[in-house]
Structures are given as C-alpha cells and as structure tokens.
Amino acid sequence: MKPLSDGAVERLRLRLEEPDLEGTRYRLVGRLGAGGMGAVYLVEDPELERRVALKLLDTPDACGDLARRLLREARVLARLEHPGIVPVHDVGTLGDGRIYYTMKYVAGVRLDRLDAGMGLAERLRLFLRIVEAVSFAHSHGILHRDLKPANVMVGHFGEVLVLDWGLAKLTGASAAAESRASPAAFPDPSRTGHGAVLGTPGYMPPEQASGASESVDVRADVYALGAILRELIVVPGTQTPPALQAIVRRATSPDPAARYGGARELGDDVERFLDGLAVSAHREHPFERARRLVARHRTAVVLILTYLAVRALLLFQARGH
C-alpha cells in the first residue's frame, strides 16, 4: 500500500483527536482551541440551527477530579447570568464517558490578541466591562481566580465575555449552596490531587501562588485585573499616564491589604481617570493637576484664552490710536 503523505497523516491525527459526538444532539464543525484542562470545539445544534461552543476534558483523568471540575465550572456559569459572562446551555456525557458542556459561541478575538492600534480610552472602556462582569460574580460570592487576557473574549461589537471559570472559588452563600447540593463532591479546584497550585504565573497573586486558598478573597481577582490593566495600557507610541501606572501598582500590590478592596473600587478609579478626575491611587504634583484640569476643561480653557487674547489685542490697538 502507498504510504500516507505528511498531509494525510496530519489530517488523520486531527480526526483521531476530535470528539465522537454520536449520541448527542451536536455535530462537530471544528476545533476552536484549548485551555487548562479542556479543549473547546465549535459544534452545530441542528435542532436550534445555531452554532455553540462545546468544552470537554482532553487530559487523562484517572481519579475523576477533572470531570468534577468541568461539571462544577458549568454549574458556576449557570448561576452567573450577566452579559459579560459566557452563558452555559447544556451539560452531557459523550459515548467515551467524558463530560462536556456547551456554551455560547463568541466570534471575536481574545484580549491578548487585541488589535495593537486600539486607543487608550477604548482599551480602558473594554477593561471596565471586564471589571463589571467580575464584580457581578463577586456579588454572587464567586471568585474567578484565573483572570488573564487569554480568558477574555472581545466580540466584533466590543462586547466582552469572561471565560474559563474552572478555578472559581465559591464563598459565603454560594459555597453553602454548593456543599448542600453535593457534599464533598467538589474538591477545591485550585489544587490538583498532587497538591500543585493551579493558576497562571504573572496574574496570580502571591497569596494564591503560596497555596493558601482559604485566605484568598476578591482581592486575588483585583490583582489579576491589575495585571491585565498593566498590559492593556501599553499603547505603542504613547507614554503611559502616571495615574494609570499608580492604579496598576495599587491593584497588583503583593500585600492584599494595600490593594483595592474590590473590583468595583478598581473600576471606579479607572472611570475617574477616563473622566479626567483625580484617581485615589495617585497623589498628583501641582503641575500634573493643572495639566489634567486643562485637559479636562479643554474647551473652556480655549475659550477663556481666546477671549483674553482678543481683549489684549483690542487694548493694544486702542492705545496705539
């Protein structure tokens, strides 16, 4: 038999990787990507005639912990109905025993692949939408704990969706509801069975990296949001304003007590910056303050200066006569 070409070998390998959706209502369209413990596929739901994203485990899961994490993630998402959080549609099991869930398919780009030409104000407005979604989750007692640009999708109309809630931590009433529903079924997902800490270096605060998951609170997400903001405010060809740098410094302080008390507080400071107001994280130099005020009241300043110039000109002409 003629040996397979390199192209055929690659296609067959891809075919083998694809999940067998026999027995589900979905038809495979293609692979969208992978993240953490799961791979995400684009599938078609012929009954509703729409495309959705299907996430399933793609790593060995001998003890079943990962399957429980995936199911837990789906349930967390089901609780969070917010325009900035990807809605889950359905949970099921494939013929090979793997658990999957389907969610809204978002056509867009990940935040880490954002168009470099986007201006600072537009970037900050995107950031505020992320903050709103995270703040909403916090108000329901849910921490994300793996916020990073790769976990944020930006749609073609500027809509923002926070993805990948596999490491979420439930606190307060949410945690109580979870343990009532499935006592001991969901171990803390921030640790593997071998005790390794999960999360993403660079976006994970020191208290989370040290494995002290009990002491992690909303300020861990504030740290990650600060790390995201640090990347977003780097606009090619421009200097980053000191006030924004100060906001990032405060949000990503190694000491949780020195950070903003919550995502909303961080968002408020960014909004103040956008409105041309002083931000709480930054003590301004008088010159800086004057420049900000001029920038904020640009029209009034221009009118006043024009008026004064015209008056000076008229005075000068009157004296000449």
Partner 1 sequence: MSERAAGAFPDTRWSAVAAARSADPAERERALAVFAASYWRPVYTYLRLRWGQPAADAEDLTQEFFARLLERDFLASYDPSRARLRTFLRVGIDRLLANQTRDSRRLKRGGGALPVPLDREDAERALAGLAAARAENAEEFFAREWTRSFLGLVVGELRKVCAGGGKDVHFRLFARYDLEDGPPGDDRRPSYADLAREVGVSPSDVTNHLAWARREFRRIALARLRELTASDEEYRLEARSLFGLTPP
CB of 12 to partner 1, least distance (A): 5
Residue nearer to partner 1 on the CB measure, 15 or 319? 15
Residue nearer to partner 1 on the CB measure, 31 or 249? 31
CB of 104 to partner 1, least distance (A): 24
**H or E segment to which residue 55 belongs:** strand 50-57
Q: Which residue has the tokens 């993240």?
A: 35
Half-sphere exposure of 275 (CA within 13 A, CB side): 9
Which amino acid appears at position 82 of this protein? H
Output the six-digit token pair for 196.
């390794």
Residue nearer to partner 1 on the CB measure, 96 or 214? 96
Q: Which residue has the tokens 């949970």?
A: 91
Residues forming the site for partner 1 (CB under 8 A): 1-5, 7-9, 11-13, 15-18, 20, 22, 27, 57-61, 96-98
Query: Among 65, 112, 115, 146, which one carries the catalytic annotation?
Result: 146
Residue nearer to partner 1 on the CB measure, 12 or 290? 12
Residue nearer to partner 1 on the CB measure, 13 or 156? 13
CB of 150 to partner 1, least distance (A): 20
CB of 55 to partner 1, least distance (A): 14
Residue nearer to partner 1 on the CB measure, 22 or 47? 22
Residue 42: phi and psi, rounded to 5, are -90, 125
Verify whether residue 146 is a known catalytic residue. Answer: yes
CB of 46 to partner 1, least distance (A): 10
**Any idea which residues carry the catalytic annotation?**
146
